[in-house]
Amino acid sequence: MASCWLASKIVLRVVQAVFALITFAASAYLQTKGFREPRINFMVFTGVTAWLLAMFYAAVSCSEGLQRTFWGIVEAVVNAAWTVFFLAAAGAYAADGRCKPSDVDITQPFTECGAFVASQAFAWLSLLLWLPSLFISIVDTRRGEGVTGGGKRYPVSAPA
């Protein structure tokens, strides 16, 4: 078991997981109130899978064998996909027009409008967290940095 050498990546992934949890929990609350629209279902899907992926990549940061398998281009593709998913989900909520932040009554807990606005806000914030992950994974892939921080990830032997 390798040490967790990328603490900043782990912190970023844990914060992504927390924001994804809030995003899908608020949307799941809307589902329990009878809202079964595709945009709400997509937000739940995006939030749940983002939560699972963020927790998975936080755990992968501590295992050298898993790092070799799931980092590099795989991580870049996953980050790109969920960046687009959060953009689409947050944009779909923003286009709905059902609830605006000014419509939220902070004296009434657990309202549909409050859950809708909270889910949308945390989806936008999640997008802002997945962008740096995408950038970091692309930079790491292009540099070819290894698991231990030095050398190439897939070294090529010198010609004989």
112-143 vs 7-32: helix axis angle to the nearest 10?
A: 150
Whole-angstrom distance, CA of residue 131 vs CA of residue 80:
8
What pLDDT score was predicted for residue 96? 84
Q: pLDDT tens digits for 11-30?
A: 898 999 999 999 999 999 99
Residue 49 covered by a domain: yes
Which residue has tokens 């999640």?
126
Q: For residue range 78-92, what is the model confidence (pLDDT) as tens digits?
A: 999 999 999 999 999
E strand residue ranges, 25-80: none
Residue 31 in any domain: the answer is yes
Q: What is the pLDDT of residues 39-96, one digit of tens each?
A: 999 999 999 999 999 998 888 777 665 565 556 778 889 999 999 999 999 999 989 8
Residue 69 lies in a domain: yes
Answer whether residue 155 is part of any domain: no
Q: Is pLDDT at 156 greater than 60 in this prediction?
A: no
Alpha-carbon torsion angle 133, 23, 92, 107, nearest 10: -140
For the chain, what is the domain count? Answer: 1
pLDDT band per the 50, 70, 90 thresholds, residue 4 = low
Q: Residue 65 domain-assigned?
A: yes
pLDDT attached to residue 97? 77
Kindly state whether residue 151 falls inside one of the protein's structural domains: no
Alpha-carbon gap, residue 134 to 70, rounded angstroms: 14
Residue 149 placed within a domain: no
pTM to 2 decimals? Answer: 0.78
pLDDT in the model for residue 145: 56
For 110-147, what is each residue's pLDDT tens digit? 788 888 989 999 999 999 999 998 998 888 778 765 44
Question: What integer pLDDT is reported at residue 65 of this predicted model?
Answer: 55
Question: pLDDT band at residue 38, thresholds of 50, 70 and 90?
Answer: very high
Residue 154 lies in a domain: no
Say which residues have a Cβ less than 8 Å from residue 43's Cβ, sequence separation at least 6.
23, 24, 27, 89, 92, 93, 119, 123
**Full residue range of the structural domain in which residue 119 is found:** 7-143
